[in-house]
Structure 1
Amino acid sequence: MSTISKFNEEEKGKLLEDLTWNVKQIQDDLLKEILTLNAETEYIQNFLHGSSAKELFKKNLPIVAYEDVKPYIDRVVNGEPSNIISAVPITNFFLSSGTSGGANKMIPSNNKFLEGYAFIIDLLEHVISKHVKGVEKGKGMLFFLTYLESKSPCGLPIAAGTSWYLKSDYFKNRPSNWYYSYTSPDEVMLGSNTKQNLYCHLLCGLVQRDEVVRIGSTFASGLVRAIKVLEDSWKELCLNIRSGHLSEWITDSGCRNSMSMVLGGQPRPELSDKIEKICSQKSWKGIVTKLWPQIKYIEAIVTGSMAKYVPTLKHYCNDLPLVSTIYASSETIFGLNIDPLCKPEDISYTLMPNLSYFEFIPMEGDSGDVLDLADVKIGCSYQLLVTNLWGLYRMRIGDVVQVTGFHNKAPQFRFVRRENVVLGIETDQTNEEDLFKAVNRANLVLDSSDLRLVDFTSYADISTSPGHYVIYLEVQDKNEDVKGLVLREKIFLECCLAMEDSLDDEYKYGRCHGSIGPLEIRVVTDGTFDALMELSTSKAQYKTPTCITSEKALQVLETNVVARFFNAQ
């Protein structure tokens, strides 16, 4: 796998075709490369004794979860040689986002991950340029953020995957084409103060508003948060634009120095007046298209746990396409969306066979039949396994995916859910997919009452008898520009009823027989989920946990509860 940044569009198109036609051969060759390269590592040697045969790999190497290999990873974290697990030296550790339970995992990595990330970004540039006309004539306002990294006991950096990429030479020496043309200087992206960075990102984008053709963030949640900063700070942003000078509270030296170049000390009263007029409107529906009139699409991951942000983005962005670009995790990059303008509910990702070796455990039928990428069947759902070049072998990722079709011979997958259960009181087992369905039912009730769901999380409260599900909701009134929310009891009781009605028979059996108490909605005040994010050690790729287990996080939520509602039926 080599960089393709110097390829022209025709060459990139040919490469994509070659990758998607020759799936089996590329996967087999990659597995052989991984096993040959890592044959002498302690982990592989224990099972294959120097062999690189695929048959022995399938027979002898166990399928593992993170906890199974954590002892090996911990040894490297604590200073033992990388060759315990990887022949290519481990250069850093990723702190995974811990989507389901809020618990982070330490994932080993090296430059092979960065090489794959750069590869998929370059390929993505080719795909989007084919589908979005004129995008090469403007700039992107991308809310990229990095954070202060910590050090492992062995001295290697611990960071989020996106932060590590932004700090790497792959990003520093990136191509000069349109996809890498941003409104913000690198210094704004590389600052360590989230509030200051987001403010400066917005200021850069507003000063260059007529050049912005795309707006995005890694995850939909990051984009929603940026819009919230705009909502809170637009008056001050207008003052900065009017005067040509940055607010004094921005103290990050990189931000101050780079923003002085953007603003140039040049007053822009007419631009300030235009922005102020737009932001002063009572309704912010469609605000993004009003502030940035040349925008062509929104770029952010909106699948999986990010799907809950789609209604909010549609509210602010009208009918702009929501482009969910790549499917990636701390363990590997899987692939990309080659139909970027499809509807959010139709998004599938085409897995690239040169990035990692992929295997699939069927969710139906004989669970012992582990399939290769080339052998999966359309319509079937699978648990996903990854073997990569940086020390993970046949590892369960925790994702369940469904095959929706093929591009040439490359399967395309819809993300279905996280594998693990997120809520349970007794014998009931509610997973992410079922919880999302329940929240979507509640969101229909909110939407019909001109209330907008900002964010949610859940908690299995067993402090009472019987225990019950708690759903924390942050909502706003669509028709009000004030922060306060006029709570309406009838609406939230309807939400409780709608959610319980959508849960499965096991849950309903428990409710009927008294082993599960009534579902409770706890409404929290505006900004609560921003405060929740501040607890995270991995803010660059933070996703609100679907279910809360942290006592500190629960304390933040409980401190901000303003109303409680139970389904009394």
Structure 2
Amino acid sequence: MEPTISIESGWKILEDMTINAYQTQQHVLVEILTQNLHTEYLSQFLNGHFDKEHFKTKVPVVDYEDIKPYIQRIANEEPSNIILAETVTALTRSSGTSAGQPKLMPLTDSELDRRTYGRCLISSVINKFVDGLDQGKRMQLLFVRPEIKAPSGLPTRSILTSYLISKNFEKHESSLHTSPIATILCSDSKQSMYCQMLSALLQRNEVVCVGSVFGSTLVQAIRFFEDHWKELCSNIRRGQLSAWISDTGCINSLSMILNKPNPELADLIEDICNAKSWEGIIKKLWPGTKCIDAIVTGSMAQYIPMLEFYCGGLPLVSKYYSSSEGLLGINLKPLSKPCDTCYTLVPSMAYFEFLPVHETNEEERSKKEVIEVVDLVNVKLGQCYELVVTTFIGLYRYKVGDILKVTGYHNNAPQFQFVRRKDAFLSIDSEKTAEDELAEGMLQAKLFVGQFQLQLVDYTSAVDISLIPGHYILFWELKMEGSSKSPELSPSIIEECCYIVEQSLNFVYRASRMGNSIGPLEIRVVKHGTFDALMDFSVSKGSSGSQYKTPRCIKLEEALKILNSRVVGRYFSQQLPGYKTLKWKLNKSM
């Protein structure tokens, strides 16, 4: 693995791979199969053959439940070679916020190197398009979670934690960040956040990029800053760290940069934060910032308006497409608008296949015909597909659960837009409401409440079938613009939002509502801090704070209890959704 990749060499590597996408994919498949041919899993299907034809006809397309028993066996002390030839050095744990339950995936030393190499390629791309990004430091908020041991003794942790504690991160990236490595490795998320913020403020003139893994984490960081900026200024003014910071690593690392009083800097930050509006505050706090680096596609898209408000016109960059299964794609047009973001799947990272997704009922369709799985170079422009991967970590023809849409090509490699998670949908009757469809309704409702200076902090959804007919529930955390407080609400405004969301949903949903087989949609407004509590709950169950994404559909009973215990108002749609174009009733007053 190359220790660093220049802009020119990184772009040349990507050009070569995308020009020769077909050849690269064939090579990757042969490499994976020959390496793992004699594993217990593959041997039952291939019987010593490693050609593509046998692979396509004999190895089944599977999901996590199919391979879970093999991973559990590894966790319970059986050798790695039941599914892959290479030694498993750790098990990675997904956030569980997409599918509802965390997944365990094998991790090997070479996979960690592969991801590091991918990150180097990503850096070469972003540096090509953003001038001067390599001339300063990144304020990149990163967090680890404590690991637990499987019965086999293998450490179990998030993939990000595995990378952050590795020599790879220390060697290739740690010096590029404003956060001392000890503050990133602090397992107390509050202390870690505070000390990373403080470090970035002390080095404000060196910062050229602000970000986090997901846009949601950056929004959470701004909310945290709203609650702690006065204390941070006090630390800077006195040159002393707050007494409640007890982590030794944080204390020692901050002592190197917080080593004297700096009242001038404290006054400057106070003046910025005391302004009437926090619009553009990121650019004001870190004036050399050239871009915001955070994933804002898929379920993260709802944070775009809030980030745009705070970032002062800086471009929002979603650099890559990654999952628990691997680092899969790179955004080769990083300065494109968030709504136009697409990813080029890197042909060397895995062997990619695609299941066509049709608008007709997928379950009924599967009964009538066999859906052909197509290769990377055979996808069709404009078509949606479910991603299937064969990887170096023992996943063979594995359905990731992501729905992607082909939007174009870079050389001979197709480019994809993330559409939604396949398993994230609401359903009561015969309807299915997908994540992206709900997101569109939410966008319309957010635009509506914005006219009343109301801001949607976060949301999730659930179904309630305890009553007949069942109905959809949206949990909303709202605040007034420019304030972190929960607002006074007019029932008519929130009831109108219920109708706006319903009116944007699919024909089957609206027909079911009109036929009374689905009840009126309900919005339950929750008090300030509820979604932070939901994240804390998820983190307590093993999720990484950096990887956490607010689940858009809640099915876990414990999570629902957290939300319902914080409800401050319940509102129902007062109208039946029809088939006419949506019209807002803007004359309603507070």
Tell me the TM-score normalised to structure 1 length: 0.97
CA–CA distance in structure 2, aligned partners of residues 269 and 277 of structure 1? 12
Structure 2 match to 1:541 = 547
Q: Does 1:489 align with 2:491?
A: yes
> How do 1:145-164 and structure 2 match up within 5 A?
145-164=143-162
Return the match for 2:293 from 281, 289, 299. 299
Contact 2:5 2:121 in 1 (8 A): no
Unaligned regions of 5+ residues in structure 1, if any? none
State the Cα deviation string for residues 371-395 of structure 1 (Å, max 9, x = none).
1112112211111101111111000
CA–CA distance in structure 2, aligned partners of residues 246 and 184 of structure 1? 15
Structure 2 match to 1:141 = 139
Structure 1 match to 2:586 = none
Return the match for 2:129 from 111, 128, 131. 131
Alpha-carbon distance, 1:96 to partner: 1.3
State the Cα deviation string for residues 276-316 of structure 1 (Å, max 9, x = none).
11111232121111111111110011111111111111121
Contact 1:303 1:347 in 2 (8 A): yes
Structure 2 match to 1:335 = 329
Alpha-carbon distance, 1:9 to partner: 3.0
Change (3 A) 1:118 1:421: closer
Query: Among the aligned pairs, what percent are the same residue?
Result: 49
Structure 1 match to 2:210 = 215
Contact 1:5 1:175 in 2 (8 A): no
State the Cα deviation string for residues 246-277 of structure 1 (Å, max 9, x = none).
0010111111110111101x000010001011
Structure 1 match to 2:188 = 193
Contact 1:129 1:136 in 2 (8 A): yes
Q: Does 1:368 align with 2:371?
A: yes
Structure 2 match to 1:206 = 201
> How do 1:316-335 and structure 2 match up within 5 A?
316-335=310-329
Which range is displaced more, 309-318 or 350-359?
309-318
Q: Which amino acid aligns with 2:391?
A: N
Change (3 A) 1:53 1:106: same
CA–CA distance in structure 1, aligned partners of residues 170 and 101 of structure 2? 31
CA–CA distance in structure 1, aligned partners of residues 155 and 522 of structure 2? 42
Q: Which amino acid aligns with 1:185?
A: P
Alpha-carbon distance, 1:367 to partner: 5.3
SS in 2 for 1:25: helix
Q: Does 1:28 align with 2:5?
A: no
CA RMSD of aligned residues (A): 1.4
Contact 1:101 1:549 in 2 (8 A): no
State the Cα deviation string for residues 178-231 of structure 1 (Å, max 9, x = none).
xx5111111111110100000011101111111111101011111111111101
Alpha-carbon distance, 1:11 to partner: 2.0
CA–CA distance in structure 1, aligned partners of residues 264 and 521 of structure 2? 52
SS in 2 for 1:449: coil
Alpha-carbon distance, 1:89 to partner: 1.1
CA–CA distance in structure 2, aligned partners of residues 330 and 8 of structure 1? 27
SS in 2 for 1:374: helix
Change (3 A) 1:257 1:175: closer
Return the match for 2:170 from 158, 169, 172. 172
Q: Which amino acid aligns with 1:137?
A: Q
Structure 1 match to 2:531 = 529
CA–CA distance in structure 2, aligned partners of residues 309 and 42 of structure 1? 45
Which range is displaced more, 545-554 or 28-37?
545-554
SS in 2 for 1:173: helix
Structure 2 match to 1:564 = 570
> How do 1:438-517 and structure 2 match up within 5 A?
438-479=441-482, 481-517=483-519
Alpha-carbon distance, 1:113 to partner: 2.3
CA–CA distance in structure 2, aligned partners of residues 209 and 395 of structure 1? 44
Contact 1:96 1:105 in 2 (8 A): yes
SS in 2 for 1:262: coil
Contact 2:4 2:172 in 1 (8 A): no
Change (3 A) 1:261 1:402: same
CA–CA distance in structure 2, aligned partners of residues 232 and 8 of structure 1? 40
Structure 1 match to 2:581 = none
> How do 1:31-180 and structure 2 match up within 5 A?
31-174=29-172
Unaligned regions of 5+ residues in structure 2, if any? 359-364, 576-590
CA–CA distance in structure 2, aligned partners of residues 342 and 448 of structure 1? 28
Contact 1:212 1:295 in 2 (8 A): yes
Structure 2 match to 1:353 = 347
SS in 2 for 1:263: coil
State the Cα deviation string for residues 97-126 of structure 1 (Å, max 9, x = none).
223342111112212321221111111111
Return the match for 2:433 from 407, 430, 433. 430
Structure 1 match to 2:269 = 275
Q: Which amino acid aligns with 1:542?
A: Y
SS in 2 for 1:506: helix
Contact 2:7 2:125 in 1 (8 A): no
Contact 1:376 1:411 in 2 (8 A): yes
Tell me the TM-score normalised to structure 2 length: 0.93
CA–CA distance in structure 2, aligned partners of residues 300 and 398 of structure 1? 22
Structure 1 match to 2:521 = 519
Query: Number of aligned pairs?
Result: 562
Contact 1:95 1:159 in 2 (8 A): yes
CA–CA distance in structure 2, aligned partners of residues 247 and 367 of structure 1? 63
CA–CA distance in structure 1, aligned partners of residues 51 and 177 of structure 2? 46
Structure 2 match to 1:225 = 220
Q: Does 1:411 align with 2:411?
A: no
Alpha-carbon distance, 1:6 to partner: 3.5
Change (3 A) 1:175 1:204: closer
